[in-house]
Structure 1
Amino acid sequence: MTIDRRSFLIGASLLPLVTACGASGSSSSSTAAPLKIGASLPLTGPAADVADPGYKGYQVWQSQINARGGLLGRKVEFVILDDGFDQNTVVSNYNRLISQDRVDLLIGTFSSFLNLPASTVADRNRMLYIEPSGGAADIFSRGHTRLFFSQPGTTDTAHRPFAGYVEGLKERPATAAYLHQDDPSTDVPVQNLRKTFEGLGIKTVYGQKYPPDTKNFDAIANAIRQADPALVVHGALELDGAAVVQAMQRVGFTPPILYQTRAPSSVNTYPKAIGATNTEAIFTAGSWHPAAKYPGNAEFVADYRKQFSQEPSEDAANSYTAVQVLQAGVQAVGKLDQDAIAAWLHANQVDTIVGPLKWDKRGVPDGSLLLMQWQGGKLEVVAPASAATVPSAIAAKPNWAT
C-alpha cells in the first residue's frame, strides 16, 4: 500500500478480507458505517522505524477484529496521518481527526515527545486516549482522566530492571558514561540510572545530551573512548541507538557493559544496522517478548508473521496492546461513550499480550518492564526469573566484530 504523507485508511488495504468477514459475521457489520479509529504516527522522520512496525501492529489487530465481525458490529477502519515527528503537526493532525475526519475513537502515537501534546488535544475534546508508547511522567501529571498507558511500566520505573541487575553484581563496574537523546522518554531513565549508580559508588566519567536530529556521533564516541568507562548507558529512541554503536565501532571502543533504551528491541532493523554478531550481550528494557505465555500472544506473533513475513517487534506489540485495551473498554461498555469507557478501564484489569494491565487514576500502569539482552542472535529475557527465557545474563560484551 502506498503511504500518503497526510492521510490514508488502513482499512482500504484489507477490503477483500473485511468484505468476506462481514458476510460470515453479524449481519450488522456488513451494513453499518465503519467504526473509525484515528491516529497520527511519525511515519517519516527520525522515529519512522518505530512507527512502521507500530502501524503494522494496528493492522494485525484490525484484520483479527474484522474477521470476527468488527467492533460493536461495525467494520473497523483506521485513519492514519503522518506527523514526521513534529509536535506542531501532531497537534494539527489530532485536531483534524476529531473535527474533519470525525473519527469515533482515538489511539495514541509514539514517543513522549509526541504524546504529550497529542494527549492534550484528546483531553480538550473529552476523548479517550490510549498510548502505545511514551511513558514520561509529565504526561500523567496534568489531571487527564481519559488517558491510559498500555505498557506495564513508565519512564519513572524503566530504570529499575537494569539498576537491579547492576546492583546485584558481585563485581560492579567502577566507571560509567551516560548519553541520551533530548526526549522525556530517554532523559528520565538515564538520569535515574545515573543517580542509582553514583549511589552505588560507580564514578561518572562522561555525560552528554544530544538533539533528536543528531546524525554524526563520532565526536561523542571518541570522547567515550577517551573516558574508557566500564559501563555505557545510552538513552536511545531508534536510529540513534544503532548510530552510536556504529560510531563506537569506528573509533574502536567496545564497552564491557552496554545498556540502551528502546533501540535494541527493534529486532528487524537493529541487528542489520550494527551487525548481527555485534548485538551480543547488549542490554535493554522491554515490555514484551514473543515467547511470553500471556493469552493471545501466540496468535499475535503468528498473524504478524503471516501478514508481514517478518518478526514482530516490541513497537508492534505495544500498538497491538493499545488496541486490545481499547477493544476491552468498548466491548465492556457496549457503546462509544468516552467517559464510560475510561471509567471502566480505571475500575478493571485488562488481559493483554504484555500481561494483565491495571491503572491508577492518572492512567499509569501498575507493573514493571523486563530486563532483556541479546544472546546468540535473539533478544532474550534475563529478569525477572519468572519470565526469563535464558538461565543468566552474559556478564561482559565481546569485542565488536570487524
Structure 2
Amino acid sequence: MPGFGRSGRHTALLSATAAVLLVATACGSGAGSSSSGAIKIGASLPLSGPVADASKPAYEGYKVWLDQLNKNGGLLGREVELKVLDDGFDQNTVVTNYNRLISQERSDLLLGTFSSRLNLPASAVAERNKMLYVEPSGGAEEIFSRGYDYLFFAQPSTSLDLPEQFVQYIKSLPADQRPKTAAYPTQDDPNTDVTINEFRKELTELGVKTVYSEKYAPDTVNFDPIASAVARAKPDLVIHGAVAANDGAGLVKALQKQQFSPKMMFQTNAPSLIGSYPKAIGAKNTEGIFTSAAWSPNADYKGNAEFVKAYTAAYGSAPGDDAANAYTAGQVLEAAVKGVGSLDQDKLADWLHSHTVQTIVGPLKWDARGVPDGDMLLAQWQSGKFEFVAPAAQKTVDKAVNPKPGWSS
C-alpha cells in the first residue's frame, strides 16, 4: 500500500481537444484565490449526453450542499461559489474542463465529476496540479491504483465491494431457489467492468453458470440485439452493468419486447434514479429489480433528514443516490477545510487521510489510496417504492421479492 509522501510522484497530463461549454455558475463571479473574496469551487459534470439524467441530480445535490453551506457562513468566513462546466460524458472534454477550472477560473477547490469513465482522467489533472479531488461517484479499482495523494471517494465502498450484499443474499437462499444460470450485459465503463467481473467471479464460485457476457458501447441506444441474445440464453438471473437510466431502461424495454423476464434481475446505478427510472420502464415493471445504493433516506446520520427535506423542497421530489453522493462529497470537502482552517491543498489531503468525517452516508475514513472503509446497501423496488433489504440494520422491508414478477404490459 503506498504511503502519503508526495516527493517523486509524477502524473501524466492527458491531452484534450474538445471545446468547453460553461453551463452554470452559482452566486455570481468571485475573486479567485484572494483571501478576501468568495471561495471558488470548480467541478465538471456530464449535464448533456447519454448520462445527463443521472448527473442532473448530482448537480442538484451539490447545489443543496452549497446553499446550506452559505446560509451557515460559508467557509473560512467567506461566501462560496460553485462553477460547473458540462463535459458531455467525454473524456477529452472533462480534462479540458478541469484544466480550465484550475488555470483560467482560478478555482480554490475542486469537486469531482460523474462516473469512473470521467473521474479517471479528471483526477489525473487534479493530482498533477496537487489539488484535493473529492469524487462523488466512480469507484473503479483502476482509479485508486495509481498512488494518488489528493484523491478521495465519497461513498462507503468501491465497485469491487458492490456485489457483496447481493451475493450474500444469494447464499442465504435455499439451494432450489438460487439461480442456476446468469447473463452479464454491461456498458463498457471502468466502473461497471470491475463490478460485473466481480459478480461473475463470485457467482461462478457458487455454481452459477454464465450463459451470456458481452459489453456494449456507452452511446448504445438500440438494445434489441442484446435483449434478443439474452432471451435466447434464458438465464435465471440477469446482472446488468448499467450506468444511467438510459441504458438501464433501454435493456428492460428491449427485454419486454422479447417477452423475456428473468426470475431475478440486478442492475447497477439505474434503479436508484428514483425520479426517472420508474417513469422510463413503467412503475409496475420495477417490481423485484435489485440494485446497490450508497445511501438511505431513512438512515439516522447527522444531517440526513435535513438534506432530504431541503432537496425535496428545492426540487419537488425526494433525492436519490446520485444527489446524496454529491452532497456527501461536499460534506467531505467542507470538513477538510474547516478542520485545517485554510485552503492549503497538502494539509487538506493529510487531514482527510488521518480523520473520520461524519456524513449522510455514515462515518467515512480513507486508506492511503483514498478508498473508504464501509459497505454498500442492497436495495429493491417493491410495490412502487425503493426499499432496502440488507444489511439488517438498514432494512426497510422484512424480505426481498423473489422471484421477480413478469413484466406488466
TM-score band, normalised by shorter chain: over 0.9
Q: How far apart, CA to CA, are the structure 1 residues paired with 2:249 and 2:178? A: 26
One-letter amino acid of the structure 1 residue matched with residue 398 of structure 2: P
3-state SS of 1:62 partner: helix
Q: Which residue of 2 aligns with 1:232?
A: 238
CA, structure 1 residues 14+285, in 2 after alignment: closer, same or farther (shift >3 Å)? farther
Q: Which residue of 2 aligns with 1:22?
A: none
3-state SS of 1:101 partner: coil
3-state SS of 1:81 partner: strand
CA, structure 1 residues 342+242, in 2 after alignment: closer, same or farther (shift >3 Å)? same
Q: Which residue of 1 aligns with 2:346?
A: 339
1:275 aligns with 2:278: no
Question: How much has 1:9 moved relative to structure 2?
Answer: 4.4
Kept in 1, the 8 Å contact 2:27–2:82? The answer is no
Cα deviations by residue, 1:62-108 (Å, 9 ceiling, x for unpaired) = 11011111111111111110010000110011000000000100010
Q: How far apart, CA to CA, are the structure 2 residues paired with 1:318 and 1:92? A: 24
Matches within 5 A, 1:140-155: 140-155=144-159
Q: Which residue of 1 aligns with 2:222?
A: 216
Question: How much has 1:10 moved relative to structure 2?
Answer: 3.3
Kept in 2, the 8 Å contact 1:333–1:344? The answer is yes
1:358 aligns with 2:365: yes
1:201 aligns with 2:207: yes
1:316 aligns with 2:320: no
3-state SS of 1:69 partner: coil
Q: How far apart, CA to CA, are the structure 1 residues paired with 2:340 and 2:179? A: 52
Question: How much has 1:261 moved relative to structure 2?
Answer: 0.4
Q: Which residue of 1 aligns with 2:383?
A: 376
3-state SS of 2:101 partner: helix
Q: How far apart, CA to CA, are the structure 1 residues paired with 2:88 and 2:243? A: 15
Q: Which residue of 2 aligns with 1:161?
A: 165
Q: How far apart, CA to CA, are the structure 2 residues paired with 1:392 and 1:53? A: 29
1:124 aligns with 2:132: no
TM-align CA RMSD: 1.6
Equivalent residue for 2:312, pick from 275, 281, 305: 305
**Identical-pair percentage:** 58
Q: How far apart, CA to CA, are the structure 1 residues paired with 2:28 and 2:131? A: 27
Q: How far apart, CA to CA, are the structure 1 residues paired with 2:188 and 2:113? A: 18
One-letter amino acid of the structure 2 residue matched with residue 365 of structure 1: P
Q: How far apart, CA to CA, are the structure 1 residues paired with 2:150 and 2:29? A: 30
CA, structure 1 residues 8+252, in 2 after alignment: closer, same or farther (shift >3 Å)? closer
| Consecutive aligned runs of 4 or more in structure 1 exceeding 2 Å deviation | 12-15
Q: Which residue of 2 aligns with 1:52?
A: 56
Structure 2 residues without counterparts, runs of 5 or longer: 1-18
Cα deviations by residue, 1:22-78 (Å, 9 ceiling, x for unpaired) = xxxxxxxxx941111000110001111111000000110111011111111111111
Kept in 2, the 8 Å contact 1:32–1:73? The answer is no
Cα deviations by residue, 1:308-341 (Å, 9 ceiling, x for unpaired) = 1122110000000000000000001001011101
> Aligned pairs, how many?
384
Equivalent residue for 2:254, pick from 224, 247, 267: 247
Equivalent residue for 1:94, pick from 76, 94, 98: 98
One-letter amino acid of the structure 2 residue matched with residue 165 of structure 1: Y
TM-score by length of 2: 0.92
3-state SS of 1:307 partner: helix
1:325 aligns with 2:318: no
One-letter amino acid of the structure 1 residue matched with residue 78 of structure 2: R
Cα deviations by residue, 1:174-201 (Å, 9 ceiling, x for unpaired) = 1111110000110111111111111111
Q: Which residue of 2 aligns with 1:6?
A: 21
Equivalent residue for 1:81, pick from 72, 82, 85: 85
CA, structure 1 residues 105+86, in 2 after alignment: closer, same or farther (shift >3 Å)? same
One-letter amino acid of the structure 1 residue matched with residue 110 of structure 2: L
CA, structure 1 residues 13+389, in 2 after alignment: closer, same or farther (shift >3 Å)? farther
TM-score by length of 1: 0.93
Q: How far apart, CA to CA, are the structure 2 residues paired with 1:126 and 1:273? A: 41
Cα deviations by residue, 1:346-398 (Å, 9 ceiling, x for unpaired) = 10100100010000000000011001000111111100001111111111111
One-letter amino acid of the structure 1 residue matched with residue 26 of structure 2: G
3-state SS of 1:78 partner: strand
3-state SS of 1:295 partner: coil
Equivalent residue for 2:186, pick from 154, 166, 180: 180
3-state SS of 2:21 partner: coil
Q: How far apart, CA to CA, are the structure 1 residues paired with 2:146 and 2:29? A: 38
Equivalent residue for 1:266, pick from 256, 266, 273: 273
Q: How far apart, CA to CA, are the structure 2 residues paired with 1:8 and 1:175? A: 45
Question: How much has 1:297 moved relative to structure 2?
Answer: 0.5
Q: Which residue of 2 aligns with 1:43?
A: 47
Question: How much has 1:270 moved relative to structure 2?
Answer: 0.2
